[in-house]
């Protein structure tokens, strides 16, 4: 793991990763994050007026993290119900200029976050 002098301990890196993941859900552009929707979620969005706003609010307001879904405390996965469907979301970490894993997920500058939202049935 690459060390960041600003976050020397694992606890500090985990806390910063969680903070950046919260921002990836609430204000994706602020932390170099993008959202991807699967075809099932895209179909749901197409059917409902203001669905993108509803989905964005649900993601931004999500706070139901527990040890089963978030064992490392990074707040990178969640599940919730919306429009009568169970939805999952997951954040993955990539190098900002390449399609490869980022080893420094606690850095907004060195990591591009990709949040994928999917129907539970698509998992």
Give the model confidence (pLDDT) of 11-66 as tens digits: 999 999 999 999 999 999 999 999 999 999 999 999 888 999 999 999 999 999 99
Are the CB atoms for 44 and 85 separated by under 8 Å?
yes
Rounded to 10 degrees, the C-alpha dihedral 23/29/32/35 comes to 80
Q: Could you tell me which residues come within 8 angstroms of residue 51 by beta carbon, excluding any fewer than 6 positions away?
A: 44, 45, 83
pTM: 0.90
Q: Do the strands 112-119 and 85-94 form a parallel or antiparallel pair, or are they unpaired?
A: antiparallel
Mean pLDDT score across all residues of the chain:
93
**Residue 5, pLDDT score:** 58
């Amino acid at each position: 793991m690459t060390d960041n002098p600003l976050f020397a301990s694992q606890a500090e890196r985990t806390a910063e990763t969680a903070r950046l993941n919260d921002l990836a859900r609430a204000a994706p552009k602020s932390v170099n994050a993008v959202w991807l929707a699967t075809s099932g979620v895209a179909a749901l969005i197409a059917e409902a007026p203001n669905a993108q706003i509803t989905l964005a609010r649900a993601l931004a307001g999500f706070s139901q993290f527990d040890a089963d879904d978030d064992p490392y405390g990074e707040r990178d996965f969640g599940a919730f119900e919306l429009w009568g469907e169970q939805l999952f979301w997951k954040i993955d970490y990539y190098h900002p200029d390449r399609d490869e894993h980022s080893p420094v997920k606690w850095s907004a500058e060195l990591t591009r976050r990709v949040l994928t939202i999917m129907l539970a049935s698509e998992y």
